[in-house]
Amino acid sequence: MMALQAHEKPNMARGSSGASPGASLHIADELIHLVSPGTIVRRDEPLAKKTTLRVGGPADIYLEPCNEADLAAVFKFCSRRRIPFFVLGRGSNLLVRDSGFRGVVLSLSQPFFSQIERIGEKFKCAAGARLKALASEARRANISGFEFLEGIPGTVGGALRMNAGAMGGQTFDIVESVRMMDFCGKILEKTGSEMRVGYRHCADLQSHAAISAVLHGRPGSKESIDALMSQFSRKRWSSQPAAPSAGCIFKNPATIAAGKLIEELGLKGTRVGGAVVSQEHGNFIITESGATAHDVLELINQIQTRAREKRGIDLQTEVQIIGH
């Protein structure tokens, strides 16, 4: 995981989001004057190095807001000007097309958005906080319930948006409340039970960006927490590839796990260019040197076609695909 939220206008012409060099330069200049000096604004930023698949083209404009006010200002600016924007987590569960993203990519990676604060058996976490860091903080404090997050290479915001899960746990099992911002810059807070949540999906975070969340655990012993995290780590590394990937490519159908289906179809090891179906886990596509997003997309299409023709199953992608 994890990309956070995308807000793309499907009717936008290529040039209207600032695709031409002159237009993107003009928009970047406007944004620089709109935000605080601590906010980073760059043009033509390569996105491949910011994703775990290591493929894809550049963003017209890349921006790291240094505070909530700047994030709100950019949301308002993009919404008013009808400029597509995307909020990036750590880039897992994300595939960027080779042509890149025509618009503004925001990353909540500055210190303001990476804070983790312990409150008794709860943690108040900013959206950019890493899940691994949260799991480690909980372990140090002898707070259980966060162990399943340790091996997920994402952020709190991305985990909320995708209701990320692993090892039998999912994010909204431990959510007490979520603070979020709509795309006009207004703040809203909801309890976890008020959020519209499903399998690898949170409907509320399609129209809002998660800013922070309060997550709850329970008291645990250091020995039991360590043992569970070690067990999960061994299971993960014995069944998943170490090569670059986006995590699980497909959602699990109702009747069979996607990885098992792909294995039964004999597709492990299938290759398109530098993209290969993992031998360790059928629901992972790994990328080798020279791979392109087109390779991955073509391999996804081949798997979906085989599953439909041979088993009558319509595989839906879990990985988020952005770009033009």
Residue 238 banded pLDDT, cuts 50, 70, 90: confident
Tell me the β-bridge partners of 105.
62, 86
Quick one: pLDDT at residue 255?
A: 95
In the predicted structure, residue 12 carries a pLDDT above the cut 50: no
Domains identified in the chain, total number: 3
Domain boundary among 111, 137, 170: 111
Quick one: pLDDT at residue 21?
A: 57
Residue 281 banded pLDDT, cuts 50, 70, 90: very high
At residue 272, the 3 state secondary structure works out as strand
Mean pLDDT of the chain: 91
In the predicted structure, residue 151 carries a pLDDT above the cut 90: no
Quick one: pLDDT at residue 239?
A: 77
What's the mean pLDDT in 149-161? 89
Domain span at residue 219 reads: 115-224
Q: By the 8 A CB rule, do 2 and 155 touch?
A: yes
Which residues have a Cβ under 8 Å from the Cβ of 199 and sit 6 or more positions away? Answer: 163, 251
Quick one: pLDDT at residue 2?
A: 40
User: Parallel, antiparallel, or unpaired: how do β-strands 101-107 and 201-202 relate?
Assistant: unpaired
pLDDT single digits (tens) 208-231: 999 999 999 999 999 999 999 998
What's the mean pLDDT in 235-248? 86
Place of tokens 């530098």: 274
Q: What burial class does residue 37 get, using C-beta atoms within 10 Å of its C-beta: 0-12 exposed, 13-18 middle, 19+ buried?
A: exposed
Assess whether 85 and 160 both reside in one domain. Answer: no
Residue 324 banded pLDDT, cuts 50, 70, 90: confident
Domain boundary among 161, 195, 224: 224
CATH number, position 153 = 3.30.465.10
Assess whether 253 and 219 both reside in one domain. Answer: no
* Position 39 in a domain: yes
* Position 15 in a domain: yes
Assess whether 97 and 168 both reside in one domain. Answer: no
Quick one: pLDDT at residue 6?
A: 42
Residue 15 banded pLDDT, cuts 50, 70, 90: very low
What's the mean pLDDT in 45-57? 96
Quick one: pLDDT at residue 101?
A: 97
